[in-house]
Structure 1
Amino acid sequence: KVQSKRGGIMRKIFLVVFSGAIFVCLPAVFLASADENKVSGESVQDRRIVSEESKEYIVGVDDVIMISVLRPENISTIATVAPDGTISFPYIGQLQVKGLSLSEIQELIQKQLAEGYMKYPVVVVTLKESNSRKFFVYGEVAKPGGYLLDENTTVLKAISRAGGFTKYGSASNVKVLRERKEARGYDILRINIKSIMNGNSQDDILLQPGDIVVVSEGVF
């Protein structure tokens, strides 16, 4: 009887300890699950933001895009925007895409495929390489030519990327040619690099796609 009584007491102690362990562990499990869901939710949201930003990208010459038809046929092609602003796509032929966003190109291809080629086509257009956002530096610099435009590229940074001035280059005689949006030709912005290097950074303007920086020869 004594042994039976002791056995009963031990079983009760075991059940109390076991129940307490479960009570302690369950919140940790739920918290871990909640953290995983939170991380997963944030990553999905980040991907959605990136996707939305990429759809607003305006396509230009030399950009490379991937066009995928998911339904009813499975077609995938990579196209480079030609100097005249066009690409070539099966069934449709030449398409003018310069100046359009990725979502607009997607809608254009989808619409044209639906007009006699495919029934209810599903098209996805993505950016593969961004090559159209360029600026150009010419004149008295070490490495004249075209360069990809990064964020916050100023005139001074542009000249630096082009290798700096030659011994004939004039730091006080620099021009930026900017294409007019509503008329033919360029607006001319005169930049004094010497003044910028003396601390007047407000004169160091940000470049835009297509800007041409011209460094003139100094008068000696």
Structure 2
Amino acid sequence: MRLLICMLALLVGACASVDTATIASGPRYTDQQMDENYPLGVGDKVRLTVYREENLSGEFPVGPAGTISVPLIGTVPVTGESADAVAEAIRMRLADGYLKDPRVNVELVQLRPYFILGEVSDPGRYEYASGLTALNAIATAGGFTPRSEKRVLYIRAAGTEGEQAYRLTADLRIRPGDTLRVGERLF
């Protein structure tokens, strides 16, 4: 009988505890804003401004192939590049027989969305906002359901295969393109 009680106590304790060895730490917990070297990706939207060339300026979404289509010069690969690097690439292509000394600026208008699923009231796709925290993302998705595990959040970063467990705190940061999963607690 004692053995049965001990086994039951261990089982309940194991179900209620979180394996701290699997919980990640690091840069997601720092208060860093996105830097100017943010790598562009599919789902982002940029504003291209060519000085004194309104017909070449405008907002361009990054398409499924990781490119934007710019008048005169066609498609420009942008995936993994910073806005400054894309501006320089466009400037060089415009200077190659189209414009004399073009002045080009590229800025981010819209970052790729994040996705949230699992034990939240309204799972789905949401627009990213600068400085987004995990708790803000969960609140945007309608908050926790009654069965939610409120101590751990699973995040799959854009372009990666697996998800990583993170301790759910007020300073856990979300990045564009992340997929968040709120798990279900057993008890």
Same fold (TM over 0.5): yes
Q: Please give the alpha-carbon distance, in whole angstroms, between the structure 2 residues aligned to 1:178 and 1:64.
A: 19
Tell me whether 1:177 sits opposite 2:142 in the alignment. Answer: no
Q: Please give the alpha-carbon distance, in whole angstroms, between the structure 1 residues aligned to 2:82 and 2:166.
A: 32
Tell me whether 1:157 sits opposite 2:136 in the alignment. Answer: yes
RMSD of the alignment, in Å?
3.1
Tell me whether 1:188 sits opposite 2:164 in the alignment. Answer: yes
- What pairs up with 1:47-196 in 2 under 5 angstroms? 56=37, 58-70=39-51, 75-78=55-58, 79-115=60-96, 117-127=97-107, 129-132=109-112, 134-172=113-151, 174-179=153-158, 184-191=160-167, 193=168
Q: CA deviation at 1:120?
A: 2.5
TM-score (norm 2): 0.64
Q: CA deviation at 1:94?
A: 1.2
Q: Check 1:145–1:75 CA distance in 2 against 1; reply closer, same or farther (3 A cut).
A: same
Q: What CA deviation, in whole Å up to 9, does each residue of 1:65-113 have, x standing for no partner? A: 3334446x66333221113221111222111112222221121112122
How many pairs align?
153
- Cross-structure match for 1:19: none
Question: What one-letter code is carried by the residue in structure 2 that aligns with 1:107?
Answer: E
Corresponding residue SS for 1:186: coil
Instruction: State the structure with bigger RCO (CA 8 A, min sep 6), 1 or 2.
Output: 2
Q: CA deviation at 1:159?
A: 1.3
Counterpart contact for 1:69–1:121, Cα < 8 Å:
no
Corresponding residue SS for 1:76: coil
Corresponding residue SS for 2:135: helix
Counterpart contact for 2:94–2:102, Cα < 8 Å:
no
Q: Check 1:60–1:179 CA distance in 2 against 1; reply closer, same or farther (3 A cut).
A: closer
Question: What one-letter code is carried by the residue in structure 2 that aligns with 1:188?
Answer: Q
TM-score (norm 1): 0.56
Q: Please give the alpha-carbon distance, in whole angstroms, between the structure 1 residues aligned to 2:178 and 2:55.
A: 37
Counterpart contact for 2:154–2:163, Cα < 8 Å:
no
Q: CA deviation at 1:130?
A: 1.9
Q: Please give the alpha-carbon distance, in whole angstroms, between the structure 2 residues aligned to 1:151 and 1:118.
A: 36
Larger Rg over CA atoms? 1
- Which sections of structure 1, spanning at least 5 residues, go unmatched? 1-52
Q: Check 1:74–1:159 CA distance in 2 against 1; reply closer, same or farther (3 A cut).
A: closer
Q: Check 1:170–1:187 CA distance in 2 against 1; reply closer, same or farther (3 A cut).
A: closer
Question: What one-letter code is carried by the residue in structure 2 that aligns with 1:59?
Answer: L
* Identity in percent: 31
Q: Check 1:129–1:177 CA distance in 2 against 1; reply closer, same or farther (3 A cut).
A: same
Q: Please give the alpha-carbon distance, in whole angstroms, between the structure 2 residues aligned to 1:210 and 1:55.
A: 17
The structure carrying a bigger helix percent of its residues is 1
Q: Please give the alpha-carbon distance, in whole angstroms, between the structure 2 residues aligned to 1:179 and 1:74.
A: 34
